[in-house]
């Protein structure tokens, strides 16, 4: 089971299933019918069954799914699948664009969890990615073993988010904010500045292009 190769589309749905099961677990629900499961995650029950069948039959006819069993199972799978899961904090203009892009084609990277402070977005699924409260950042990073974070928050909160993320086990941050983050040596910070990139390009055109 550990080395099961699963279709990418299936892999992308797993965090959504996981998120929903966590909500059920937190409200002490022991089992869920396949139709309620399908309604909640907005994936039809045949697709859910097929997704789960890659790992062996997990539902029981007439019973539905056992929440705790399935949740434990997902925790293992999400940590072991061959895709690198990335977190994204700050679902504004830039965050949404990155979420929408989500590095899908021919890449083994995907954004699997997003975080924001905006109440309207928390506990929703945006572009197929579950959105959590930033208050749960550390806990979710730990549970989902997310080691890489994209930061698209206002620069005023960037260092605070960076500190929390590092406590949650993050080892790499792609920083889109203008704040220069302070982090321990074993955490890599990659600063991305599109204005800089563009100015560099313009500089090269102006100084090195052939007449």
Strand pairing report for 125-126 and 129-133 = antiparallel
Quickly count: other Cβ atoms within 10 Å of residue 145's Cβ: 13
Closest CA relative to residue 45, chosen from 53, 35, 54 = 35
Between 120 and 206, CB nearer to ligand NAD? 120
201 labelled as ligand-binding? Answer: no
14 labelled as ligand-binding? Answer: no
Burial of 141 (0-12, 13-18, 19+ CB in 10 A): buried
95 labelled as ligand-binding? Answer: yes
Say how far residue 172 (Cα) sits from the centre of its chain.
14
Residues binding ligand NAD (CB under 6 A): 89-95, 115-118, 134, 152-155, 157, 161, 176-178, 192-195
Q: Closest distance between ligand NAD and the C-beta of residue 150, in Å?
A: 10
Residue 103, classed as helix, strand or coil, is coil
Q: Closest distance between ligand NAD and the C-beta of residue 78, in Å?
A: 22
Q: Closest distance between ligand NAD and the C-beta of residue 142, in Å?
A: 17
Between 43 and 174, CB nearer to ligand NAD? 174
Residue nearest to ligand NAD (CB): 92
Q: Closest distance between ligand NAD and the C-beta of residue 136, in Å?
A: 11
Pick out the residues of the known binding site for NAD(+).
90-95
Pick out the residues of the known binding site.
90-95
């Amino acid at each position: 089971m550990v080395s099961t190769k699963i279709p990418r589309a299936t892999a992308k749905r797993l965090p959504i299933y996981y998120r929903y099961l966590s909500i059920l677990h937190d409200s002490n629900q022991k089992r869920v019918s396949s139709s309620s499961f399908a309604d909640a995650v907005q994936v039809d029950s045949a697709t859910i069954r097929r997704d789960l069948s890659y790992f062996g039959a997990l539902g029981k006819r007439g019973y539905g799914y056992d929440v705790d069993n399935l949740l434990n199972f997902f925790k293992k799978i999400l940590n072991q699948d061959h895709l690198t899961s990335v977190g994204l904090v700050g679902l504004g203009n830039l965050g949404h664009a990155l979420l929408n892009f989500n590095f899908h084609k021919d890449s083994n990277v995907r954004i699997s969890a997003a975080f924001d402070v905006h109440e309207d977005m928390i506990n929703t699924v945006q572009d197929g990615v579950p959105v959590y409260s930033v208050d749960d950042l550390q806990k979710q990073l730990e549970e989902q073993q997310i080691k890489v974070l994209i930061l698209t928050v206002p620069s005023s909160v960037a260092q605070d988010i960076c500190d929390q993320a590092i406590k949650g086990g993050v080892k790499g941050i792609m920083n889109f904010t203008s704040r220069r983050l302070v982090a321990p040596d074993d955490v890599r910070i990659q600063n991305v500045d599109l204005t800089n990139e563009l100015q560099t390009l313009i500089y090269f055109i102006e100084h090195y292009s052939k007449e």
